[in-house]
Amino acid sequence: MTLALRRRLGQLTALTTLVLACSACAPTWQNVRKQEAFKGPSRAYVAMLPEDWKRAPTDSDVLLITRDGLFLQQISVTRHRLDEAFAGTPVTPETLPAELAALQFKQFRLEEPELARYTKDEGKGVLALFPVAQGKPLPGTTERVAMRAVQVDGRDAFRLDTSSRNGWGLEYVSQSVGFVHEGEYWLVRYLAPRLHYAQRDQATFDGFLAQLKLKPKCFLFCGD
């Protein structure tokens, strides 16, 4: 058996393990039976959720969706106050997208965001052999692939492409689109293993991003 074939079989085994590990994920996902619109409580954006994906229930503007499991593919929308987006570095509405991209890359090198909770059962039985932490991309392995200026619904933004590896050596690719909107820093991200999943679900992420609409915040007496 060649080294390349052995490596590929090892990666396929890791992917299978990730499917098992994701069975320990919490909370319970909401199945999206057909494409539907999602509005966060502040209605600062409207996202179209893809058919046959799953959404984590949340009472904030954070959106986290997957088709097969978080470590197999995920699309997320997160936000932070400008004074909390990057520790020790102030961000303003005038901060250029290229500067935001550099700060975001530095952040990925330090920490991989934790957007979901896991049950205590992940440390029991067969799952104890495959810790969830091993499935996550390791921050120190993150490498910059490309960065370019883009627009999200007419707003200036950056797109940062990176790659990283998890504790089993499985390579992940990430596409992060960041911008300032309504006085906050927003990040739309696609993350998936390069092996099989990243390319398969790329068109879904492209469509998700193209349909994303940015809106003024509204908390009371909001119309549709």
Q: What is the pLDDT of residues 174-206, one digit of tens each?
A: 999 999 999 999 999 999 999 989 999 999 999
Residue 219, number of CB atoms within 10 A of its CB: 8
- The β-bridge partners of 76 are 64, 189
Using alpha carbons, list the distances in angstroms from residue 154 to 201, 209, 210, 214, 215: 24, 12, 11, 9, 12
* Confidence (pTM): 0.83
Q: What is the pLDDT of residues 110-158, one digit of tens each?
A: 988 766 554 454 444 433 434 455 667 888 899 999 999 999 999 999 9
Q: Which of 186, 165, 4 is nearest to 95 (CA)?
A: 186
Is the pLDDT at 42 greater than 80, yes or no? yes
- DSSP letter, residue 79: E
Q: Contact 178/126 with Cβ under 8 angstroms?
A: no
Please give the mean pLDDT across all residues of the chain.
83
Per the omega criterion (within 30 degrees of 0), is the bond before 97 cis? no
Q: What is the pLDDT of residues 73-90, one digit of tens each?
A: 999 999 999 999 998 898
For residue 197, the SS3 value is: helix
Lay out the sheet containing 213-214: strands in order across: 36-39, 45-49, 213-214
Is the pLDDT at 70 greater than 90, yes or no? no
Domains within the chain, CATH numbers bracketed? 28-117+134-214 (3.40.1000.10)
